[in-house]
Amino acid sequence: MKKVNILAAPFVQEMMKTTANLYRLGWDERNGGNISYRLDEKWVQPFLDTTNVIREIPMIFDASILAGKYFIVTGSGKYFKNVKDDPEANLGIVRVQENGKTLDLLWGLSDNAVPTSELPAHFMSHIARLSVDPDNRIIMHNHATHLLAMSFTHDLSEKALTRTLWQMCTECLVVFPEGVSIIPWLVPGTNEIGEATAAKMLETRLVLWPQHGIYGAGRDMDEVFGLIETAEKAAQVYTYVCAQGGVKQTITDDNLWLLADAFGVTPHADYLDERV
């Protein structure tokens, strides 16, 4: 059966549009940032012969738990601004081999390119999120500007940061009621930072990398992009508030409890004062 052009695949189009948007927002300068998107085999088969392996790519992480699973990923050293013009050079569709330490390249990553150096961290986070949410598909990392700035100026306790973000925009408690996790500063591209992030991903879908950026997880591209976008908007408002002289009034804990009730969400335990 003749295959449909892979560039028409919805998941390729999503990656092209999202990377362009992230670059437009200034969250993925140069080759900063990366995305991995778990795909179903039935999504891939209309576009690719899944028995045709272009080449094998070794990994530094054992992803045996993900054996047989398919992902579309951004490439190492690739600029998000170039994805829409040359997706085959900047994206790749890979399948995890049974040994867990090798990837089958099925499309993309031309000229011997390889997946993002953060792929082990992505896979660790996929494994963590799948253990608590079997529908999770996407891990996204970028350098959202105002969240990054807050990691220099704000108390880096998870409770304090989360409360500040909740108080900056009414929708924040509804969008990320579980809060935002934070890891220590660690060298990117290592298993160490991947393990620290994955441990936090068991509890939250947002993990702040201080002085670096943010990691987000979601069931689809809109969810994870919207999750980061909402937290970043709150961080931007916080920046403006500080520049305007600081907080004079805010959303109270009583207000936040009313929000939680109205939208049927459960705030992170111990992050709010008890109900009056």
Q: Whose CA is closest to 75, among 17, 45, 114, 118? A: 114
Domain ranges of the chain: 1-116, 118-276
Helix crossing, 119-132 with 191-201: angle to 10°?
20
Q: What local confidence, expressed as pLDDT, does residue 276 receive?
A: 67
CATH topology of domain 1-116: L-fuculose-1-phosphate Aldolase (3.40.225)
Model pTM score: 0.95
pLDDT score, position 274: 85
Long-range contacts formed by 102-105: CB under 8 A, 24+ apart: 102/56, 102/57, 102/58, 102/59, 103/56, 103/57, 103/58, 103/59, 104/53, 104/56, 105/53, 105/54, 105/55, 105/56, 105/57
Q: Among all residues, which ones are annotated catalytic?
A: 118
Domain 118-276, what architecture? Answer: 3-Layer(aba) Sandwich (3.40)
| Residue 60, pLDDT score | 86
User: Residue 254: pLDDT above 90?
Assistant: yes
Residue 189's pLDDT is what? 86
Summarised one tens digit per residue, pLDDT across range 175-233 is 999 999 999 999 998 889 999 999 999 999 999 999 999 999 999 999 999 999 999 99
Tokens 């940032």 -> residue? 33
Residue 66 has pLDDT above 80, yes or no: yes
> Residue 194 CA to chain centroid, in angstroms?
13
Per-residue pLDDT tens digits for 69-79: 999 999 999 99
pLDDT at 162: 98
Domains 1-116 and 118-276 share a fold: yes
Q: With a cut of 70, say whether residue 1 has pLDDT above it.
A: no
The pLDDT assigned to 136 comes to: 98
The answer to whether 95 and 68 have CB atoms below 8 angstroms apart is yes
Mind listing the pLDDT tens digit for each residue in 125-152? Answer: 999 999 999 999 999 999 999 999 999 9
Closest to 113 (Cα-Cα) out of 90, 95, 94, 97: 90
Known binding site for Zn(2+): residues? 141, 143, 212
Q: How far is Cα 186 from Cα 267, in angstroms, rounded to an integer? A: 28
